[in-house]
Amino acid sequence: DIQMTQSPSSLPASVGDRVTITCRASQSISSYLNWYQQKPGKAPKLLIYAASSLQSGVPSRFSGSGSGTDFTLTISSLQPEDFATYYCQQTYSTPWTFGQGTKVEIK
């Protein structure tokens, strides 16, 4: 199975900050990488697919980059509604696996 490792696990930040979350795959996954946002008690929401494509309706302050084994999710200017947990997910091969999550919390 492909292991996905996110860093950091927790990220204290303030409104307006530029935030970067990293995801590393245990083997090359080309660009088969998605990012999801999850708020407490809610289902995850797809933000970015294929490493850098913005899902319809997602604000442009979210962006993704990377290929192969190293990927990043960037929030250019953190908004109050962005405090949540973020997960990366590989879809290169089944079982599709998720990272352990990064909780973006108020500093």
Partner 1 sequence: EVQLLESGGGLVQPGGSLRLSCAASGFTFSTYAMSWVRQAPGKGLEWVSGISGTGGSTYYADSVKGRFTISRDNSKNMMYLQMNSLRAEHTAVYYCAKAGVGVADGNFDYWGQGTLVTVSS
- Nearest 5°: CA angle at 9, between 92 and 36? 45
In angstroms, the CA 104 to CA 13 distance is 7
If the CB atoms of residues 14 and 56 are measured against partner 1, the closer one turns out to be 56
- Closest C-alpha to 74, from 85, 60, 84, 92: 60
If the CB atoms of residues 26 and 77 are measured against partner 1, the closer one turns out to be 26
Stretch that binds partner 1, among 15-23, 42-50, 59-67, 74-82 (CB under 8 A): 42-50
Under the rule (CB under 8 A), what is the footprint of partner 1?
Answer: 1, 32, 34, 36, 38, 43-46, 49-50, 53, 55-56, 87, 89, 91, 94-101
